[in-house]
Chains A and B, each alone.
Chain A
Amino acid sequence: MNVTPPLFYALLVEDELADAHLVKAAFIENHILADLQHVVDGCEALEYLRREGPRFANAPRPDLILLDLNMPRMDGRKFLAALKQDPQLCNIPVVVLTTSDVERDVIASYNLGAAGYVTKPMDVVQFMAVIRDLGDYWFALVRLPENRKFRE
């Protein structure tokens, strides 16, 4: 059987496993043609993106990053700042996906270079719709940087 590579890769940075499962389920439910990889905090996300250690030696470069804000070790704000200062990584769009609705977090995220701030709904049906609209924008409407060369 031929296995076609996914059209897109997305990286989810999220410490809550239940939330990560929900995002994965929403990708499948909405038929989003993106392979979703998952790491649990900012440190692990940077290791993934820089392909550090045997676990991430072949990690595919993501087209889009979905980022939680409140995480242990390295939180979303510190991760976003580090990513946007890295010339190799700064062109990957990052969407903040969080339960925080504090205005301070919103403005800080955009100041650090976030390409959207989405508040996670508690309701599962609404959550599915959020991921659908997010996918419609990033994987159906906009053109993303060509990452194929990084994956060869």
Chain B
Amino acid sequence: MNENRPLRLLLVEDEPGDARLMDLAMQKNGYVVELYGASDGHEALRFLRREGQRFSRAPRPDMVLLDLKMPGLGGLEFLSAMKQDPQLRAIPAVIISTSALEADVCGSYQSGAAGFVPKPNDINEFVAAIHKLGEYWFKLVRLPENPE
């Protein structure tokens, strides 16, 4: 991991409010990250593959945080596509979802998720959840080097 720059995260989330909440939670926890957004799986794949003018200079994220329920390409379909792409599969992807369905949990791990975080409704609980996520992924774990 490059120590000289903030971690780059791609948040795949259709609710703009939830994206702002993620930004807030990162700040509250003192995590200095670059947060990029995609509003569904199609957009996320274009971002990762740098397709089209809009994404031609998109940076490669160190990690993907992913909602499950989105219009267009949903979370599980996106995850499967990403994990089948040899250029992208090494990027860890963590699900953050309000779904309590066992089929979603199981399907997420089956598709290659590196964790399924239940999304709390309470803001303080959400900040605390992002703290635990950050202590693991931003501090404990070594991520693949990503010089781009």
- Listed in ascending order, the chain A residues whose CB lies under 8 Å from chain B are 90-93, 101, 103, 106-107, 110-111, 113-119, 130, 133-134, 136-138, 140-146
Contacts and interface: CB of A to CB of B under 8 A. Distances in A.
Contacts of B112: 113
B35 interface: no
B136 A137 contact: yes
Contact of A111 (B89, B114, B143): B89
A145 B113 CA distance: 11
A91 B106 contact: yes
Given A118-B140, A137-B132, A143-B116, A107 B105 contact: no
B133 A145 contact: no
B117 A142 contact: yes
Contacts of B36: none
Contact of A116 (B86, B106, B109, B114): B114
A141 B39 CA distance: 25
Given A110-B90, A133-B135, A136-B136, A142 B142 contact: no
Contacts of B129: 141
Contacts of A110: 89-92, 143-144
B78 to A, nearest CB: 17
A116 B90 contact: no
Contact of B139 (A92, A133, A138, A146): A133
Contacts, number: 90
Contacts of B110: 90-91
A115 B115 contact: yes
Given A93-B115, A136-B132, A146 B142 contact: no
B109 A92 contact: yes
Interface of B: 83, 86, 89-92, 94, 102, 105-106, 109-110, 112-118, 129, 132-133, 135-137, 139-145
Contact of B105 (A106, A117, A134, A145): A145
A103 B145 contact: yes
Given A103-B145, A119-B142, A145 B109 contact: yes
The 4 closest A-B pairs by CB, nearest first: A137-B136, A115-B114, A91-B109, A110-B90
Given A110-B144, A111-B90, A143 B136 contact: no
30 contacts: A91-B106, A91-B109, A93-B109, A93-B115, A103-B144, A106-B143, A107-B144, A110-B91, A110-B92, A111-B86, A113-B83, A115-B92, A116-B114, A117-B141, A117-B142, A117-B143, A130-B140, A134-B136, A134-B140, A137-B132, A137-B135, A141-B129, A142-B115, A143-B116, A143-B117, A143-B118, A144-B105, A144-B116, A146-B102, A146-B105
Contacts of B102: 145-146
